[in-house]
Amino acid sequence: MADRPAIVLADYELMKQTLVKEGAAYTGRQQVPLARLVRGGDYGIIATTGELWQQHRRFALHVFRDFGMGKDLMQERVLDEVKDFLEKCQRSQGEPIDLRDHIDSAVGSIINNLLFGFRFDESNMDQFHRQKNVLVQAMELSARPSFILFMLFPSLKVLPFYKAYSKEVKNNSDVMFGMFDEQIEIHKKETDLNCEESTDYVEAYLKEQKRLENEPENGGFTHDQLRNVCFDLWLAGMETTSNTLYWGVLYVVLHDEVQTSIHKEMDTEIQRLANLLPLNVFHETTCDVEIDGYPIPVGTLVLPQISTVMYDEKVFPNPYEFQPRRHLAEDGTFVRIDEVVPFSMGKRQCLGESIARMELFLFLANLFNKFKPCDMHTSLGALRTVDRGDINF
C-alpha cells in the first residue's frame, strides 16, 4: 500500500492459520494521521492496538454479557424494537412504504439503549436523525478518493486541498462527538457511582473509571477514550446491521419463493451475498511472522479479503446467486459452512456478532411472518440504495 508492504489474504485456510491460530501476531492496526486528527489521538477500539485495545475490547464484552448478550434478556430488548417496527409497518395499510427510516430507528434504538440507556421514539426522533445524518456524512467523507489518498500518502497533508478536506472531516466528527459528550455529561451528573448495577455502557464505564482512579495504571479509562468507544460502537452497531437488513428485504422481495421459509439458512445467505465488508480493516503484524512459507517482517499490513472467501466458487457454486438452500443438507437441516465469515475471524472478530445475528433473525423472521413484501417495479424504500461500510474490531 503506497510505500508500505502489504499482504492480501484471499484464502480461508490462510486466514484461519494467521488470524486464528497465530492471532496475537496480527492484532496491530495501521495508524492513519487523519484518524488521529478526528479522534484527538489514538483512542477507541477499532483503531487502537496493544494493551489499550485489549482492555477496552474485554471490558465491552464483559458489559454486554452482563446486559444479556446472546441470552433471553437481550432477545427481549430486540423484540421490543421489532414490535414497534412492525406496528409502524402496519400503519401503511398496504400502501408502498420506505422501510429505511423504520429499520434505522429500530436498530439505532438497540445500540443507543445499550450505550446510553434510552431508545428513540416520537419525542426524540429528531436527535436520532441528527446522529444518523452525521454518521452518513462521515461514511461519505471516508469513501472519497481524498481519504484513501491521504491514508496512503500522509506526506500530502502539506497540500492546500488536504487542509480543506481534513477541516470538513474534523467539523463533521466534532458534531458527532459533541452529541456523545452531552450524553456522557448527563451520566456523570446522574449516575450513582456506588451502585453496583449498571443500566448502560456509559454508566458501567464511569464506575470502572472511578474504581481505577487511584490505580497507577488506570487502563486508559479516560473521557477521550470513552467518547471514541461510543463512536465505534454506535457506528458498528448501526450501519452494518441496518444495511444487512436492507439487503435481506431486497433479496427476499426478489425471491419470494423463500418467504415461506425464514430460517437460519436465509440469514446466513443474506450475510454472505450482501458482503458488507468487501474490504476489511487492515491488520498489522506485531512481530516477524511466516505466511505460507514466506517470511513477513513486523509492521507489515495484512488485509483479510473476506469477500473473496465468501464468493469462492469452489465452496459456493454460482456465488453471486441468492440460494439459501446451499446451507441445507438433504434432510433439510442447517449446515454450517466455515467460509461464511461476515464478522471476520480471530482476535479482531466483531465483538457484537451475537447481537447482530439476533437482530437479523428476529427482524426478518417477524417481518416476513406478518407481511408479504412485493416488488413494486420501482426504486422505493430499501430497494433504492444500500451503503457499504467496513467495521471490524
Report d(CA 146, CA 141) in Å as an integer: 8
DSSP-based three-state secondary structure for 313 = coil
Which of 274, 271, 393, 389 has the alpha carbon at shortest distance from 336?
A: 271
pLDDT digits (tens, 9 = 90+) for 227-269: 999 999 999 899 899 999 999 999 988 887 776 666 789 899 9
Report d(CA 154, CA 161) in Å as an integer: 13
Residue 230 is assigned to a ligand binding site: no
Report d(CA 205, CA 370) in Å as an integer: 39
Cell numbers 487502537 correspond to 48
Strand order, beta sheet including 6-9 = 6-9, 301-304, 283-284, 28-29
Q: For the domain covering 6-371, report its CATH number.
A: 1.10.630.10
Which of 361, 391, 381 has the alpha carbon at shortest distance from 238?
A: 391
| Structure confidence at residue 296 (pLDDT) | 96
Q: List % helix, strand, coil for the chain (3-state, nearest 5).
A: 60, 5, 35
Report d(CA 15, CA 286) in Å as an integer: 16
| Structure confidence at residue 1 (pLDDT) | 64
DSSP-based three-state secondary structure for 294 = strand
**Distant-in-sequence, close-in-space partners of 363: CB < 8 Å, separation ≥ 6:** 78, 82, 85, 103, 106, 245
Q: Kind and range of the H or E element at 309? A: helix 306-310
**Distant-in-sequence, close-in-space partners of 126: CB < 8 Å, separation ≥ 6:** none
Report d(CA 77, CA 113) in Å as an integer: 9
As averages over each run of 10 residues, the pLDDT of the chain (393 residues) reads 84 96 94 86 94 95 89 89 94 84 95 96 93 91 84 79 88 95 97 93 96 82 96 91 93 79 83 83 94 95 94 96 92 92 93 92 90 66 46 42
How many DSSP H helices and E strands does the chain contain? Answer: 13, 6
| Structure confidence at residue 380 (pLDDT) | 46
Cβ atoms of 226 and 218 within 8 Å: the answer is no
Strands of 174-331 (E only): list them.
283-284, 289-291, 294-296, 301-304
Calculate the CA 260 to chain-centre distance. 29
pLDDT digits (tens, 9 = 90+) for 285-319: 999 999 999 999 999 999 999 999 999 999 999 99
Report d(CA 246, CA 99) in Å as an integer: 8
Q: What pTM was estimated for this model as a whole?
A: 0.89
| Structure confidence at residue 255 (pLDDT) | 84
Helix axes 201-212, 160-190, angle to 10 degrees: 80
φ/ψ (deg, to 5) at 83? -60, -45
φ/ψ (deg, to 5) at 175? -65, -45
